[in-house]
Structure 1
Amino acid sequence: MIAKHMTVALIGSALLATAAVAQTSTTTTNTMSAPAATSSESGYHGDWRSSKMIGLNVYNDANEKLGSISDLLLDKSGKINAAVIGVGGFLGVGERLVAVSFDKIKFLDTPVPSTSASTTAPAGNGMRSETTTGAATSAPAATNTKTNPWYPDHAVFNASKEQLKAMPEFKYST
């Protein structure tokens, strides 16, 4: 019986010793040292986050929505060569992917201008009253400016929906 207790104690001591040895730190000297960061944002202010670029709405010059950016295609050095734009469809069903050269897309920080116009509608008392749709009456439209520097508000590609649909469909090869 004592032999069993001694064996268990010996095995337990060996396990504890290996855990203690595994936690012992070894000091190595690295000849290359990393530069000290002065701020988490230094040197990168004004750069855009790629995670915010995916899903970004794409409009044409006439402020018609063409689709949204589905993916960004990079070369081996990390340069963005193309943006894959999802065109057409409804809630992703029937969407067609088109690859567009990244230098053909323009990114804007300002919101898309409203395309709604003033309409004249008859009032309840037979008089005509003018109402403006799509704009808030309590604040001017100029106060709707974007303040986040980490991603643009939208993208602009100079094409119509028909021209984009006529482009060759992009397919991921396996």
Structure 2
Amino acid sequence: MKISLCILASAMLLATPVMAQSSQNNATTAAPNVQSAASTASMHKEGEWRASKLVGVNVYNNSNEKIGDINDLILDSSGRVANVVIGVGGFLGMGEHNVAVTFDQLKFAKEPVKTVSNDGAGKTGNAGSTSTTGSASTSAQRSDNWYPDHVVLNANKDQLKKMPEFKY
């Protein structure tokens, strides 16, 4: 009996390095796949936007009228954006109506909204500076591309206000 226990213990001691070596080999063969996936995901690519930067982006209609802003992004279980929650109406968040639209209904614009200034009506005392109507930014392009300048949705405020309110 003692001899069989000694043989069993010796066999276990000899097998332990073999098992450890095979698990290390599995780990090293799996590691390059994880590392290669991590290296491609570690850099910002053109056309990718940070979700935190999309929240708050202004939403305009096809007539360049501001109709709301993005309040939230709803993801499905695969990580794709299923819906975009847009806040419509209200003032300083009071009385705002949240509606959900599908991501594919939105067109993302990198350049600022183009508005027309009134012929000299917006001139101020500063050297040649004019103001434009609407809430457009200047025509200079941003140097970052972490989020679009604005979003265009083919709808008007009244249509969005009539949509069912999105509930969390």
TM-score normalised to the size of structure 1? 0.65
Q: Which of the numbers 30, 36, 43 marks the counterpart of 1:32?
A: 30
Amino acid at match of 1:161: K
Q: Secondary structure at the match of 1:35?
A: helix
Amino acid at match of 1:149: N
Provide structure 2 residue ranges, at least 5 long, that are not aligned to the other structure.
1-22, 123-127, 133-137
- The residue aligned with 1:109 is 110
Q: Distance in 2 between matches of 1:158 and 1:85?
A: 13
* Structural RMSD (CA): 2.6
Q: Is the 8 A contact 1:70 1:86 kept in 2?
A: yes
Deviations 1:132-158 (A, max 9, x none): 8416xxxxx65x112212211110001
Amino acid at match of 1:32: A
Q: Indicate how the Cα distance of structure 1 residues 77 and 162 shifts in structure 2: closer, same or farther if over 3 A, else same.
A: same
Q: Distance in 2 between matches of 1:54 and 1:163?
A: 21
Single out whichever of 69-78 and 31-40 deviates more from structure 2.
Answer: 31-40
Amino acid at match of 1:77: S
Provide structure 1 residue ranges, at least 5 long, that are not aligned to the other structure.
1-27, 122-130, 136-140
- The residue aligned with 2:150 is 154
Q: Distance in 2 between matches of 1:93 and 1:38?
A: 43
- The count of residues paired between Structure 1 and Structure 2 equals 130
Q: Indicate how the Cα distance of structure 1 residues 66 and 116 shifts in structure 2: closer, same or farther if over 3 A, else same.
A: same
Identity of aligned residues (%): 50
Amino acid at match of 2:147: Y
- The residue aligned with 1:84 is 85
TM-score normalised to the size of structure 2? 0.68
Larger proportion of strand: 1
Larger proportion of helix: 2
Amino acid at match of 2:88: V
